[in-house]
Structure 1
Amino acid sequence: MKIEEKSTVTSKGQVTIPKKIRTFLKINERDKLKFSIDPTTRRVYLTNDNQVNICPLCEGEKLVDLNQPCFICCEEGRIDLEVNPYSFFRVWFEKYLVSITYIQTNAKGNLQPNVEVIAPNYFEETIRKSEVILLIWLLNQSPFEKKYITNIEGINELKEKIPNFKQLLEKMNIEGELNEL
């Protein structure tokens, strides 16, 4: 089903988002909206930033493990999977004492990515969840690597263990960035 609506730009550059679009994107008053441009197709994409970027580690609560700050989202409750997580590695180390190691090995023709998180102030379960989230986030950055996400050992078991894991996979799949599981 395709929804098309029209709106007029005011002299101040403002546009009223039509009701059908607001309803579809679950846009409410004071929501933050994200505009993305694809320069090759000259298309603009609109997403409700409040709805699609809830941090899968803290589930938007900004805290984990008995009131420890969530380092994945830097205590914001949301993350942007479009931003390269490498840019946060230094902040995570300096502010949260969290160290990240990302390694890719080629075993028998299959790329085997691995993320290791060392976080002395966090529970083991939280560390394991963050490793899976970071692995998906890092794989989401490179078109070459995206096709290898199906080779991650035990990925089916992870879907049940990680909150919002299914939504992360669906987001990547909708954008045509994930092979069948």
Structure 2
Amino acid sequence: MRRLLFSVSIPLSLIALPAPVSAQEMGVPAPCAAPADLPEALAGWRNPAPATAGNVQAKAVALPPGKAVILALLPTPKVTYPLRPEKPGGSVSFGGLASFTVAQTGTWRVALGSGAWVDVVKNGKAMTSIAHGHGPDCSGIRKMVDYSLTPGRYVLQVAANGTDSLPLLVTRLQ
């Protein structure tokens, strides 16, 4: 009987345990030694100005293209969106409205410091996004959404944000 136990216990002791997993392998970004270099179109991200989102389209704050803002948001139940956002968020989320003017046809990017939902609206219609992505590592830009836009005034709907403010930049890429 002892011989049987001994022969079974040796192979079990030879089973390898998994190697430790690094934070990077788990999807956790490495700490940043310095802020990331940003492409020219996102250079305005580094110097945000304060701004307050509107709660109805008529009170949407005007965003200067190419210049970042820290947008103060409102509790979602206090915002009247021109179009119902696809992901409006719950009663404890935050949102608001801003506007921007496109002078030249091209690809325009909305860069956000969070995973909030954004819609770009013109004449009561949501524009279709053409690309989605993340900002450069160590930039503070969590989400980027691109749109092909023509000249005119647009309303930016921000919805489902987890906090009452949000770094945001609207800029022309090309």
User: Would you call these one fold, judging by a TM-score over 0.5?
Assistant: no
Q: Higher strand proportion, which one? A: 2
Bigger RCO of structures 1 and 2 (CA < 8 A, at least 6 apart): 2
Q: Higher helix proportion, which one? A: 1
State the TM bucket, normalised to the shorter chain.
Answer: under 0.3
Larger radius of gyration: 2
Task: Compute the TM-score of the two structures, normalised by the length of structure 1.
Answer: 0.25
